[in-house]
Amino acid sequence: MTRVVVLGGGYAGMASAARLAKLGHSVTLLEASGQLGGALVPVREEGFTWDASATSTLLPAVMRDLFRKSGRPAERELELVPMDVIREHRFADKTSVAVPGGTRGAQLAAFDELGPGMGQQWTDYVARFSEDWEVLRQHYFEVPWEPSALPAAVAERFRSRETLHKRLRKTFKDERLRLVAAHPFVAAGQELRDVPAWAGLTAYLEQRFGVWRIEGGMSVVAEVLAARMATRRVSVQTATQVEDIVVRDGRAVAVSTTAGEIDVGADGAVVVAFDPRSLPALRPLVDRTLPAIPPMTFHLGLSSLPEHLLDLPDELVLHGEPTLVVRTRGLAPEGQHAWTVHSYGKLMEDVLLALARHKIDLREHVVHRVDLGAAELVRRWRGSPLGVKWVGRSTVFQRLGPRTPVPNVYAAGAHATPGSGLPFTGLSSALVAQSIGPAEK
């Protein structure tokens, strides 16, 4: 049995720990805060519960695979629900589109409502990513990659200078289609001019495999995984801040923490599942990366709402300056509602006034609110769960993971390969588990 020390108890750290424990390793999980879950720990106040970050996931197969490969299947512990409407976009010209997930035909019909031929333009755009997904799935997303020996089809994509910004300008004359395609990147704190075109394949994943939420909210995932730490006999140390990895003769030999030094063992390994820039031993390897910054966030506890606000979709995007994203599925006491609003861009007035300008007037209905600026969020989470900011095509090579230049140190999570968001951080843990492999008996 090999000793593996996993650093960071967010989704990726727990997923890595569960997988590695099932592979027979003796796993210790170190988490700085008082509880596991990272960005999936919800905000709970005055009877309201809001998801703090993710509210849905792409690629449900990744989550199912994690649960199956680490013990009981997901269906036994949580309910993954496909979203009929992924999100509704409302544009400045008062038109709107409710984007359905999971089928090309439904998206074609939905976009046609914006104007003749729009459906075809949208589905043609999405279809172009099918080959990108097939190529990258086989050599990057699902298999540990070797950056110095890339298959030609992967190299061609990763070295291409085409940005998503350029692709969208070339593909769509209609500004609204560009806004819809750009949205997942704006929401993830990215600048479109710095994102490579291939990364737009998330639009293909949304259409092909749908977008899924968890009944009861994302905190259920955090709770179920935290319980799995116990069943898999992962030794969990919360309230333990990692200060550095001790590297001797080119290998990690220990982890230094606020609770003392933890030995890694002669053939042990370390998995870093938070921003590696915060560890002096790894910082020089990633000093060219920057974090993507989370949006200003407002959690609203609302009393009974007027009829026209009751049937909003789970996610509503109000395009403008700033763009506001309203997520409506928090948990609230009977007859009340828990909404979260994220603001992207400069918010020059109170968020309730900004919403009222979009005909979503909540001013008389707010019974509780929690306002969180980007700096406060990053402080709470000890880093950004949105991972590394794209600064061009080279970013894909600058993230660590699954392996790192230190042979027994691996990287998972939002800051690692293949990027942020639950599907990709879930894949990062699968890549780390594949790279480390089963424990020797």
Ligand X SMILES: Cc1cc2nc3c(=O)[nH]c(=O)nc-3n(C[C@H](O)[C@H](O)[C@H](O)COP(=O)(O)OP(=O)(O)OC[C@H]3O[C@@H](n4cnc5c(N)ncnc54)[C@H](O)[C@@H]3O)c2cc1C
Nearest residue (CB) to ligand X, 186 versus 436: 186
Q: How far is the CB of 318 from ligand X (least distance, A)?
A: 16
Q: Which H or E run includes 140?
A: none
Coil, strand or helix at 76: helix
Kindly determine how many residues on this chain lie close enough to bind ligand X according to the rule CB under 6 A. Answer: 38
Q: Which H or E run includes 214?
A: strand 212-214
From residue 240, give the alpha-carbon distance in Å to each of 58, 141, 243, 257, 420: 32, 31, 9, 6, 24
Nearest residue (CB) to ligand X, 145 versus 381: 381
Q: In the set 91, 381, 390, 410, which binds ligand X (CB under 6 A)?
A: 381
Nearest residue (CB) to ligand X, 154 versus 218: 218
Per-residue mark of binding to ligand X, 267-286 (x: CB under 6 A):
------xx---x--------
Q: In the set 6, 30, 255, 318, which binds ligand X (CB under 6 A)?
A: 30
Taking alpha carbons only, the member of 434, 395, 421 closest to residue 10 is: 421
Q: In the set 80, 414, 433, 436, which binds ligand X (CB under 6 A)?
A: 414
Displacement of CA 150 from its chain's centroid (Å): 25
Is residue 38 within the footprint of ligand X (CB under 6 A)?
yes
Q: Would you tell me how many other CB atoms lie within 10 Å of the CB of residue 431?
A: 26
Nearest residue (CB) to ligand X, 10 versus 330: 10
Strands of 269-272's sheet in order across: 235-237, 26-30, 3-7, 269-272, 409-411
Are 242 and 279 a contacting pair, CB within 8 Å?
yes
- Of 222-261, binders to ligand X (CB under 6 A) are 241-242
Q: In the set 196, 200, 276, 294, which binds ligand X (CB under 6 A)?
A: 294
Nearest residue (CB) to ligand X, 51 versus 108: 51
Measured CA to CA, the distance from residue 306 to residue 308 in angstroms comes to 6
Q: How far is the CB of 335 from ligand X (least distance, A)?
A: 26
Coil, strand or helix at 74: helix
Are 241 and 32 a contacting pair, CB within 8 Å?
yes
- Which of the ranges 80-88, 103-111, 299-307, 413-421 carries the binding residues for ligand X, by CB under 6 A? 413-421
Nearest residue (CB) to ligand X, 64 versus 166: 64
Please report the DSSP string for 258-279 in residue order.
Answer: TTEEEE--TT-EEEE-S-GGGS
- What tokens appear for 174 in the block? 């209609």
- What tokens appear for 215 in the block? 């009944």
Return the residue matching tokens 């293909």.
Answer: 204
Q: In the set 55, 202, 395, 408, which binds ligand X (CB under 6 A)?
A: 55
Per-residue mark of binding to ligand X, 340-379 (x: CB under 6 A):
--x-------------------------------------
Q: In the set 27, 29, 31, 139, which binds ligand X (CB under 6 A)?
A: 31
Taking alpha carbons only, the member of 10, 25, 19 closest to residue 408 is: 25
Q: How far is the CB of 189 from ligand X (least distance, A)?
A: 8
Nearest residue (CB) to ligand X, 143 versus 378: 378
Q: In the set 49, 57, 107, 121, which binds ligand X (CB under 6 A)?
A: 57
Can you name the residues that pair with 98 across neighbouring β-strands? Answer: 88
Residues that bind ligand X (CB under 6 A): 7-13, 30-33, 38-40, 53-57, 241-242, 273-274, 278, 294-295, 342, 381-383, 385-386, 413-414, 420-422, 425
